[in-house]
Structure 1
Amino acid sequence: MGNTKSFLYRQRFGYGLGDFACNLIWQMISLYLLYFYTDIMKLNAASIAVMFIVCRIIDAVTDVLVGFAIDKTRTRWGKSRPWFLFGAVPFAVAALLAFSVPDISPDGKLVYAYVTYIFLSFMYTVVNIPLASILPTLTDDMNERTVLATWRKFFAFMGSTIVSATALYLVKMVGNGNEAVGFRVVMGIFGVAGCVCFLLTFALVRENNLSQTEKSATLKETIQSAAHNTPWKLFALNILFMWTGYFIQSSALVYYYKYYVRSAKMATMVATVMTMVPMVANLTVPFLAKRLGKRNLYSVSAGLQLAGLAVIFIGNVNTSVILAGAVISAAGYGCKESIYFSMQADPVDYGEWKTGIQTTGTLSAINGFLGKVAQAAAGGISGLLLSWGAYDADAVHQTANALTAIKMMYIYIPALLIICSIITMSFYHLDKEFPQIQKELGERRKVQNK
């Protein structure tokens, strides 16, 4: 069954729907959660920065435990698939609650923000980590993994594009000028859509490449296996650079175009460009990866993204130049993120080859946690910069310091982190070794499954 064309396309579609669902919520968090907290819930920016950090400390425990639980899961549906089924509804509920404003005191609202944000972070872990952990079990073919990752990111960008292009318009339309009501209703709609998509993902994908090793590793052995996995450690360090830059820039987008460029419409236009262009650029990844290799494609794409930021910087407040820079940056980002998700599965196989322990769930969990650390760092840095700049949500014009802080968030810091990312990945050499590793793993699995 796993080799028929109809099955392959069904599985690719199902796998893509999972990230479509994630990004309906993820993009709302990335673009609008900080704005929602400061301008709608009227919470203090410094308090929000602390909250992001506290929540990530909690995630440090929950993410690893969920990943380890995936590695220990044994059902007729596989290891990762059941998590889509049982996580779909709670994930939708958590999203709705996080974007709701209760009629309580300011201190009560801060407590509510803590509780709902922690709940949403946990449920995101429950449904998102399996999207990464399931990839090595869907196929052992390197090219098919890239194709699956491409479908995943195509749908992810589609979900992000829907949010970027419609969310603020929908908030305004259904809220009739009341942004609190608008955000709650819109998040409810996206939550229901995401829930349906995860149920379809569960129905359409199959785990065909599970290693039937007799050894059941303990958490300690699993972590020790990760500690000896050099390609994964490089990949993990890169996660911090890649996603911190992404989240800082995303959270600054509304502020940058509203206050620095002085064009609120540009915020929607650029947000849409940053999701639509990657969706198209992403389609070139299977072709380019075969010719350049995964690591090289990642570095070239990151360089293109950096060049786009340089154009935006040079453009200053010239909207035509800014849009050109956004297109260039988005094209690089689209290819980079797609190949990143394809690369994510390879260190798992390397670890199994080197130590005999398959840690797909745990490594995916730690990767996911590092992404959340990056999100927390971005939220903390953004909150502190806005606080340093004396950002005033009620002011029509911001202070010079506030504008400097916003520009640092949107251009300077992301550019620096992209450079750090390129340097880190220059030490990643798994592409050359991978065909031989896969060959040896395949032979081992044949013996184990007899």
Structure 2
Amino acid sequence: MSQLRIPFHEKVAYGLGNFMPTAITATGGMAMYFYTDVAGLSAAFIGALLLLVRIVDAVWDIFVGRRVDATRTRWGQARPYLLWFAPVVSIALVASFTVPPLEGLARTVYFVLAYVALWCSYSLIMIPFQSLLPMIAPDPDVRLRMAGVSSFVQFLFVVGCAAGFPIMKDVLSDGVPAQGFQRAALLFGGLGLLFTWLCFAFVRERVAPMSGPRADLKADLRALVGSRAWRAGVLAQCALGTLIGLPLAAGVYYFAAVIGKPQLIGPFMGLGGVGLVLGVVLSDQLTRRLCKKRVYVGSMLAAALLLTGLTLGGPDRLPLVFVLSLLANICLGVSAPISYSMNGDIADDIECRDGKRVVGTLIATINFASKVGAGLCSAIVGLVLSVTAYHAGAPEQAPQALQGVVALMSVIPAVVALGVAAIMGWAYPLGRAQLSQMNEQLGQRRAAAAA
């Protein structure tokens, strides 16, 4: 264990930095409804807009990651972005949920620009924020403890934002839906600005950037691709994005068509959030005693077993459905801070092997893999529903359609969880012994460079 001790208030302050990204992703679930039912745009147009944002995102994230790696200021590399761009994100969030006094093409152009600006500014906060962790905590064990506190706070924000935004947009509407959305966005944007600036004020970067000219993008990408840990991490993060998204996307269909009680989807999601928080607490205890790589693999295997058990659920076995889902989410919560801290471990591995510090670019590629996983999740759900002849809104579904929905909640995510376990167990090379040796080597190099 490292002798470095990061104050608890700094860990909490870092966790507060999760609010702004969480608020944007949580309110993203309401964006489709806002643009179609409040702003009056067509669903086809909104679908095209979301695709456009993803394409822009893919290029923009790499650019932001490169800029973080190249930044040198008296505040550090990543912290300045939290100071500079938090107001931009807040303004973009409010603009995205504001209906302007415009008509026709002018209104359409406004919404396109506002939504693209929101997600581009989101990257200007999210990538530097995630890049901060290996800069704050140079030691893998300390980094893991800090990731645990951050994940705990993040999951509290997930539950609060997912439930809070729909409530506040109704409370603040005064009978005018557009006004409710705008005021709720203003409230969440203001809180995000406050929490992001608190994160900036109370955390500090302890790992100095490497001296010398920055390598070009091709050289940095070669360093990433040459890392076995990065290759495994990208594959695992892509699969994890799919795994987390499947129950969320299929849950509505499951409770509406299979269980016959769509009103239970809210309690089901809320219980899932509780499971994630409990998993983070358990993760801290397990990783203090065991190798975090083994804990990660074990949590994925346990999640696969529990998800498979959901095939035994049904309308007459609701307690079993809720208990198995709670336990599966606890397993996913166990893996969350480990997955988060592994980004810093991979950055250290590349620095130790190639002498390159490419944290921002690494985070950008990991985020892109997660987005690809989320896209695969949507494709899998759509494919299964199509192949099994699911009819939207029909009071009765064919048996094969019901089986397809059950598979989306159980067998399919279980197979994905097994895939994550296999990748991390066989392909990911950084166990406790390797991390200890690598940390010692980097400590000596950095001490020599500082001298």
Determine if contact 1:157/1:275 at 8 Å carries over to the other structure.
yes
**Stretches of structure 1 lacking an aligned partner (at least 5 in a row):** none
Please give the TM-score of this superposition, normalised by the length of structure 1. 0.87
Distance in 2 between residues matched to 1:398 and 1:113, nearest whole Å? 38
Q: 1:8-23 alignment to 2 at 5 Å?
A: 8-23=7-22
User: SS at the partner of 2:17?
Assistant: helix
User: Cα offset for 1:363?
Assistant: 0.3
Distance in 2 between residues matched to 1:408 and 1:42, nearest whole Å? 36
User: SS at the partner of 2:414?
Assistant: helix
User: Cα offset for 1:50?
Assistant: 5.1
Give the length in aligned residue pairs: 445
User: Does 1 or 2 have the higher relative contact order (CA < 8 Å, sep 6+)?
Assistant: 1
Q: Tell me whether 1:440 sits opposite 2:428 in the alignment.
A: no
Structure 2 residue aligned with 1:267 = 265
Q: Given the alignment, which residue of 232, 235, 255 partners 2:233?
A: 235
Q: 1:299-310 alignment to 2 at 5 Å?
A: 299-310=297-308
Determine if contact 1:289/1:297 at 8 Å carries over to the other structure.
yes
Structure 2 residue aligned with 1:60 = 58
Distance 1:172 1:399, change over 3 A: farther
Determine if contact 2:136/2:204 at 8 Å carries over to the other structure.
yes
Structure 1 residue aligned with 2:328 = 329
Distance in 1 between residues matched to 2:38 and 2:383, nearest whole Å? 19
Distance 1:87 1:70, change over 3 A: same
Determine if contact 2:257/2:397 at 8 Å carries over to the other structure.
no
Distance in 2 between residues matched to 1:38 and 1:275, nearest whole Å? 28
Determine if contact 1:20/1:158 at 8 Å carries over to the other structure.
no
Distance 1:138 1:165, change over 3 A: same
Amino acid at match of 2:7: L
User: Cα offset for 1:299?
Assistant: 1.4
Distance in 2 between residues matched to 1:257 and 1:99, nearest whole Å? 30
Structure 2 residue aligned with 1:79 = 77
Determine if contact 1:165/1:271 at 8 Å carries over to the other structure.
no
Determine if contact 1:305/1:329 at 8 Å carries over to the other structure.
yes
Distance 1:448 1:4, change over 3 A: closer
User: Cα offset for 1:376?
Assistant: 3.3
Structure 1 residue aligned with 2:244 = 246
User: Cα offset for 1:100?
Assistant: 5.0
CA displacement, residues 16-65 of structure 1 (integer Å, 9 cap, x when unaligned): 00113322332333x54556667767877776555544432222210111
Structure 1 residue aligned with 2:26 = 27
Q: 1:51-450 alignment to 2 at 5 Å?
A: 51-100=49-98, 114-175=112-173, 182-317=180-315, 318-382=317-381, 392=392, 395=393, 397=395, 400=398, 407=406, 409-426=408-425, 427-431=427-431, 432-450=433-451
Select between 332-341 and 248-257 the one with higher mean Cα deviation. Answer: 248-257
Determine if contact 1:88/1:199 at 8 Å carries over to the other structure.
yes
CA displacement, residues 4-26 of structure 1 (integer Å, 9 cap, x when unaligned): 96x62121011100113322332
Determine if contact 1:236/1:370 at 8 Å carries over to the other structure.
yes
Distance in 1 between residues matched to 2:282 and 2:356, nearest whole Å? 34
Determine if contact 1:302/1:333 at 8 Å carries over to the other structure.
yes
Distance 1:305 1:93, change over 3 A: farther
Determine if contact 1:67/1:364 at 8 Å carries over to the other structure.
yes
Distance in 1 between residues matched to 2:237 and 2:188, nearest whole Å? 27
Distance in 2 between residues matched to 1:44 and 1:377, nearest whole Å? 24
Determine if contact 1:49/1:384 at 8 Å carries over to the other structure.
no
**Stretches of structure 2 lacking an aligned partner (at least 5 in a row):** none
User: SS at the partner of 1:291?
Assistant: coil
Distance 1:162 1:283, change over 3 A: same
User: Cα offset for 1:142?
Assistant: 1.8
Select between 431-440 and 406-415 the one with higher mean Cα deviation. Answer: 406-415
Amino acid at match of 1:352: E
User: Cα offset for 1:403?
Assistant: 5.8
Select between 88-97 and 328-337 the one with higher mean Cα deviation. Answer: 88-97
Distance 1:41 1:263, change over 3 A: farther
Please give the TM-score of this superposition, normalised by the length of structure 2. 0.87
Distance in 1 between residues matched to 2:394 and 2:106, nearest whole Å? 28
Determine if contact 1:80/1:130 at 8 Å carries over to the other structure.
yes
User: Cα offset for 1:316?
Assistant: 2.2
User: SS at the partner of 1:231?
Assistant: helix
User: SS at the partner of 1:358?
Assistant: coil
Distance in 1 between residues matched to 2:157 and 2:309, nearest whole Å? 27
Select between 404-413 and 162-171 the one with higher mean Cα deviation. Answer: 404-413
Distance in 2 between residues matched to 1:408 and 1:52, nearest whole Å? 27
User: SS at the partner of 1:345?
Assistant: helix
Select between 159-168 and 327-336 the one with higher mean Cα deviation. Answer: 159-168
Distance 1:289 1:159, change over 3 A: same
User: SS at the partner of 1:134?
Assistant: helix
Identity of aligned residues (%): 27
Amino acid at match of 1:20: F
CA RMSD of aligned residues (A): 3.3
Amino acid at match of 2:288: K
Amino acid at match of 2:442: L
Determine if contact 1:164/1:275 at 8 Å carries over to the other structure.
no
User: Cα offset for 1:301?
Assistant: 1.5
